[in-house]
Structure 1
Amino acid sequence: MAAYNLSQLAEDDIRRLYRYGIEKYGLAHADRYFDGLFARFDAIAESPALYPRVDHIRPGYRRSVYGVHSIYYRETDSGAEIMRVLSRENPSDLEEA
């Protein structure tokens, strides 16, 4: 079974977007979005080549768009490593985790 790992930066991004979701839209909406986001992580791990490469942003990365967020990840032998989850941030500023 494929798996995913979250970089520390991705974990920080998720915490930030969850807090923002609660403040802006309420707990129920934030929970639904959060659950969907993690379902997307599972889908990425199962089929990491499904989503397009974004070598122009960071070599070796792929991107999956979920709602208003871009999930940047790279393929691994066991699935995927989720590197960042960004909204309107500049993707050219992606840092290595």
Structure 2
Amino acid sequence: MTYKISKQAKMDLARIYWRGVREFGDVQAEKYYNALIDRFESIAENPLIYPMVDHVRSGYRRSVCGADSIYYQMNNDHVEVMRVLGRQNTTSEIPSDH
């Protein structure tokens, strides 16, 4: 299966990268960014391995990578990464649909 990254998730990745540069330097920020991309690829290969988080949003699954959670959903032929959020952002950035 392939993966796609939503517009909001792309903005999340940019925010995470630049925060990493400010706090930890270029090298560490690049390593963490690459770890997130590697996780997207892993999710696409085996999307059912991570748990459903219907209490966050119906149909979403979550994979924790470092300090951030990757929220994604499965579509017919691909996985769509919806958001990449730290613990402090979860409730404010992904409104529950319950």
Q: Same fold (TM over 0.5)?
A: yes
Contact 1:57–1:92 (8 Å) recurs in 2 = no
Contact 1:53–1:60 (8 Å) recurs in 2 = yes
- What are structure 2's unaligned runs of at least 5 residues? none
Count of residues in Structure 1 that have an aligned counterpart in Structure 2? 94
Residue in 2 that maps onto 1:91: 91
Query: What is the percent sequence identity of the aligned residues?
Result: 43
SS where residue 58 of structure 1 aligns? coil
SS where residue 89 of structure 2 aligns? coil
- What are structure 1's unaligned runs of at least 5 residues? none
Which residue identity is paired with 2:8? L
Residue in 2 that maps onto 1:37: 36
Give the alignment's Cα RMSD to 1 decimal: 1.2
Mapping for residues 6-45 of structure 1, pairs under 5 Å: 6-45=5-44
Q: Deviations over 1:46-86 (max 9, x none)?
A: 11110000001100000000000000000122231000000
Q: Which aligned segments of 4 or more residues in structure 1 are displaced greater than 6 angstroms? A: none
TM-score (normalised: structure 2): 0.91
SS where residue 53 of structure 1 aligns? coil
Residue in 2 that maps onto 1:72: 71
